Structure 1
Amino acid sequence: MRSRRQLLSLLTLSAVGVGSLAGCERSGEPAKPAVAGVKPEAPKAVARPRLEPAKLVAAFQPPKGGYPTIQDTEAQVSLGRMLFFETRLSKNQDVSCNTCHGLDTYGVDNKALSEGHRGQKGTRNSPTVYDAAHHVAQFWDGRADTLEAQAKGPMLNPVEMAMPDAARVVATLSSIPEYTARFRTAFPGESKPVSLDNTARAIAAFERQLITASRFDRFLMGEHGALSEQERRGLETFVSAGCTTCHNGPAVGGTSFQKLGLVEAFPGLKDPGRFEVTHEEDDLGKFRVPGLRNVEKTGPYLHDGSVTDLPTMVRLMGRHQLGRVLTDPEVDDLVSFLKSLTGALPPTEVISAPALPASTKKTPKADPS
C-alpha cells in the first residue's frame, strides 16, 4: 500500500486536467402553504452543478516547494520509538509520551485533560501526534516551532513528566548501556551524543513517520468513487461554506492560527490562547487550527476538551467561525465527510511498544514527590 508521503507527492496531479462531474446536491423549494383538504406537495429537488474536482482538491495541496527535507536516519527513528514509550523519562517513571498520545488510539487518550505526574491535570487537551509533522507549530498556542521543540516540553513540565532538569534526563539515559550505544549510533561523531536535544531529535524523527492515509487521499488522487455520495456532498459543503479558509493543507488544518469565536463570541472562553506566547492583543483567544485527519477518533474537542461529539462541534464551528446556522442535513453531510478522513494506523510493529533495556544500579530511582 502506498504511504501518504507518496500520495502527497502526487496530489498536484489530481487538480490538473480533471473534468467536472455532473450531479446534484440535496436541496428543495419551500413547501407551499397548506390548503384545507389538499395534501401539500413535497418539495422538489433542485439540480445544482457540483463543484469541479479541481476546486475540491485545491485547498488540500502541500505548500509550494513542499515541506522542509529532514534527513532522519533509521537509527534515529528506532531510538525515537523506544524513547516515545520510555516511562523512565518521567520523574516517577510512570508516564511516557504514549501515555497521553496513545498510538493505538489515534495519538490521543480521549480524555478532556490528560493526567501526568501524580495524576495532575493540565489545562489543555492533548492533541494527536499523527500527522503533526504537517503543522505550522506545535501545542495549541504554537509555542513550539518544531516537533523537536515540542518533545522537550512534556519531559520538563512539572505537571506532565516532571523531570527536574535536562541533567536528570541525561543521567537516566546515560546509566543504561543500550541507550548510550544507540545514541552513539544515531548521532555519530558527537562527543556527547546523549543529550536532551538529541532525545527530542530522536522522538521527533519517530513522530515524522506517524502519517495516516484515508479514502480522502484516494479522492485527492483522482479516484472520485472513493467517497460516497453523502461524503462528497459533505466535502462540497466544507469547501463552499468556507471551512477550508482555516482547515486546509494535507492535514486539513494545522497551517495557521485563528481566533476562536471569529464571527460570534465563543461562550465561556477564558483561555488567552496564543496571547500567552506573543503577548500581542491580536492573539488573544487565538489557537493553532487543529488538523482534522482522524477527527472522528480524536475527541473530545477544542483546546479544553469541552465538546464531546462531532455533530455538536460542527454546529459550533459553523455558528462561531462562519456565522452560519447549519441545517441538519448539512451537519449530517459534513460529519460523514469528516469520517472519511479516518485513516489506517501504521503497522503494529511501528506503533506497538518495543522491548526497552533494563535499568542498572546507576539508574536514578523513581521520585513520586
Structure 2
Amino acid sequence: MKLNSLVRPLILVAATTGATAFAQAAKPAAPAAPATAAQKVVIDRALLNAFKVLPTRFEDAKNPITAEKVELGRMLYFDTRLSKNQDVSCNSCHDLNKYGVDGKPTSPGHKKQLGGRNSPTVYNAGGHILQFWDGRAPNLEEQAKGPILNPVEMAMPNAERVVETVKSIPGYVTSFQKAFPGEADPVTYDNLAKAIGAFERQLVTPSPFDKYLAGDENALTEAQKAGLKKFLDQGCQTCHNGPAIGGSLQKLGLVVPFQTKDQGRFEVTKNEADRMIFRVPTLRNVTKTGPWFHDGSVKELPTAVKLMAQHQFGKQISDDDAKSIVVFLDALTGELPKSYIAKPKLPASGPKTPKPDPS
C-alpha cells in the first residue's frame, strides 16, 4: 500500500475536525479577564485526551533499542566524517544543546549552501507519524539516510562512499559488530541509519505539562492553565495532539490560504490533493526552537500563534490571547538530557579514511 493512501484519511479527519473547531471558535465570546493568583482556572480534563504523556523513549519493533546501538548512533550523530568535506554532522543543524535546532531560518550545509526549509528539532521526533516537513520518510531511520546524501546538506555522493568511509575507521567496525551481532557484514548504510535512529528515539524531554497530564494540578501555574484553556478553546489540539503534540499531516491554510512558494507534500507526490500539506511541527520545546514555520520566516512566537489562528481557523485573536497561549507553550519546555547528549569521543581515522573534499 502506498504511503500516500495511508496518510490521506488522516488529513481528511484533521480537516473535518478543524472545520468543526472553526465553526465553534467563530461564535462571539465575551473577553476573559487575565487569570491572577487568586483566580482558579478550570480545565475540562476530557479535552486533555487529545494529548499523551511523553514516553521515556519511542520504540519501534523493526529497530529494537540496545545500549550498543545507542552508543554507536551517538558517535555517528556527532561525526562530521559522514559529510563530504567533513565539516557537517547531524548535530550541526540539529544542535542537541540548543533543543535540537540551530536557530537559523534555514541551515548551511556543504560549501555553506542553504537548505530550502527550516531544520526542525529532533527532540521527541520519534512521536511523529512521518518525518521531514513533507512527510516523505516513514520513520527516524529512513530520515537519517536523507541529509547525508543530500548535495546541499552533507553531500556524500552515494551510500557506498559512506560505508567505505565508515569501514576505514577501525573503531567503527568494532562498534558495528557489537551493535549488530551475528551479521557477517554489519557495516551497512541501513545499519548506520538504525543506530542513529535508536539514539534519536531516546531524545525525549518530559515537561511540567506531562506531570499535569498525569494528574498533578500544581504542575502548571494559573497563568499557564489560562493559556492552556485558550489553546483548547481555539481548537489548537485539532492538529497539535498526541505525545509529540504534533507530528501528523495537515493542510497549511485550511481556512485562509497561506502564501508560500513551497507546496509541501505536493513537491514529493505531485498529487494535487497533497498541495500545501505539511507535517505539523511538535510544540514541545517550541519556545526554544525558533524561528518558526517550514521556512523559518516567523521570528516571534506570538505572531506564529496569531497566524495559525487566522489561516487554520479563519479567526483573528488578540495580542493578549496569543501571549497567554505562549505562556502555556512554555510549560511544554523540557529539561535537556545532558549526560545522554554529551559529545562522545569519536574513533580515530584509519590510514585509508578519505580526506575532506571541498569540491
- TM (norm. structure 2) is 0.86
Shift of 1:289: 0.5
> Is 1:351 the equivalent of 2:341?
yes
CA distance in 1, matches of 2:231, 2:180: 45
Write the distance in 2 (CA, Å) between the matches of 1:168 and 1:51: 55
Partner secondary structure for residue 212 of structure 2 = helix
TM-score between the two structures when normalised by the length of structure 1: 0.84
- 1:223 counterpart letter in structure 2: D
Question: Pick from 28, 32, 35: which aligns with 1:27?
Answer: 32
- What residue number does 2:81 align with? 88
Q: Calculate percent identity across the aligned residue pairs.
A: 58
- Paired residue for 2:294? 303
TM-superposition CA deviations, 1:44-100 (whole Å, max 9, x none): xxx998332232x2110379xx96445211000000000000000000001000000
Query: What is the 5 A alignment of 1:6-45?
Result: 27=32
Aligned partners of 2:200, 2:258: CA distance in 1, in Å? 33
Residue matched to 2:67: 74
Q: Distance in 2 between matches of 1:260 and 1:67?
A: 29
Corresponding residue SS for 1:340 = helix
Is the 2:53–2:214 Cα contact (8 Å) retained in structure 1? no
* Deviation of the 1:273 alpha carbon: 0.4
Look up the match of 1:117. Answer: 110
Residue of structure 2 in register with 1:293 after alignment: 284
Of residues 235, 249, 258, the one that matches 2:228 is 235
Match for 2:32: what amino acid?
A: S
Q: Name the structure 1 match of 2:309.
A: 318
* Structure 1 equivalent of residue 45 of structure 2: 53
Higher relative contact order (CA 8 A, sep 6+): 2
Give the 3-state SS of the residue equivalent to 1:351 in structure 2: coil
Q: Report the Cα distance in structure 2 between the residues aligned to 1:304 and 1:27, rounded to whole angstroms.
A: 34
The offset of 1:365, in angstroms, is: 1.1
CA distance in structure 2 between the partners assigned to 1:277 and 1:328 by the alignment: 36
Q: Which residue identity does 1:316 align to in structure 2?
A: L
Larger C-alpha radius of gyration, 1 or 2? 1
* Residue of structure 2 in register with 1:264 after alignment: 256
Note if 1:177 corresponds to 2:170: yes
Q: Which moved more, 1:89-98 or 1:230-239?
A: 230-239
Aligned length: 321
Contact 2:79/2:89 (CA < 8 Å) preserved in 1?
Answer: yes
- Residue 284 of structure 1 aligns with which residue? 275
Partner of 2:333: 342
Alignment RMSD, CA only? 1.8
State the shift of 1:176 in Å: 1.0
1:362 equivalenced with 2:355 (yes/no): no
**1:278 to 1:62, Cα distance in 2 relative to 1, 3 A:** farther
Task: Provide the C-alpha distance between the structure 2 equivalents of 1:276 and 1:67, rounded to a whole number of angstroms.
Answer: 30
Indicate how the Cα distance of structure 1 residues 363 and 313 shifts in structure 2: closer, same or farther if over 3 A, else same: same
For structure 1, the 5+ residue unaligned runs are 1-24, 29-46
SS in 2 for 1:193: coil
In 2: Cα distance, 1:101 partner to 1:54 partner? 35
Unaligned runs of 5+ in 2: 1-29, 34-38
How far, CA to CA, are the matches of 1:204 and 1:67 in structure 2?
10
Pick from 88, 92, 95 the counterpart of residue 99 of structure 1.
92
